[in-house]
Structure 1
């Protein structure tokens, strides 16, 4: 990590059911480093510069960390440290200029990446319900996959089918578990999630199954 590249805000996530207070933004000083798993008696560990921020993640207190060493790099004669609201930086490769339009450019890229399909056109030709008739789409000119051009480009269909068969020849069969209606995102704020971590299996099983049958039967 270069001294200039310290993040003021970083992305993180937790799927643990023991984290009580999950917020979209948490303003707490946390030194996020590469981690590795260790085992042993925590009472006998040597002095460490790490801090326990568990209570802060739980929303029960502010972070105990008041300072963060960003980096010390002897190869570029640089370093950086943050204490409270202050950040000290020295480096031989400092950022010489900043593009004030960078955030506008990010918004432009996000807009360019968005695909808006709208209603299916009346002249749409995609009819791919039969496995004997695969559809072929030019996703550059037809990103919404409305127009099947397999009849116009049979050689392309043949090439892609050959590649698909090649991948399938080494594929491992899915190790699917039995269908469980409790996994339906409708029960979890319309989100695909690790739902099994959040249920009381005894109390919710019948209730969810009944809800499922009322909605879909």
Structure 2
């Protein structure tokens, strides 16, 4: 059945000699994988693959067949054309990192308009923003709301945060309790939106330490979560 759908590209993989499998987060169906048959065979087909860069926002006409794992794409066109996400080396590092995270954590094969719109809007913000070195920190923190383990804000005045339970505590209760600079930055990020991100000033070292803490938080709450391979590239770019 041919239907229109809006998609955000998560990953792509060469299949056989000339095919491409593209994993996407879609507005209507959640996570869907498409097969682009023969696109690597000709220059015309390869031109089509340019659309499917990491986290590209596209509108497609899909040939969706229930109970199949791979679906066809009849037509494709940009839904939003990035100005800098794929050309700015720093933003590109963030994009590759977040695409790997999203490909790892997004599993549901059903629509979630709130999550789709969050990812879409946040990426468009990043595309237009000139101060973005902490973008991925806030993006991941806000993503926890949609994944079901957002830090409990009501007691954020307390002196510790427990990564395992996801709540703030008055005393250090376990090896998962954090304090110090990571706690201070966590509280600040929990209280802002992207338009206030420029007010957060941290060193490269603190940014790396906070990101490692966030990734540990994801590991504790998501079965099978793995630290992304692109983490080293991200750290190198924002050294």
TM-score by length of structure 2 reads 0.20
Higher helix share: 2
Give TM-score, length-normalised by structure 1. Answer: 0.21
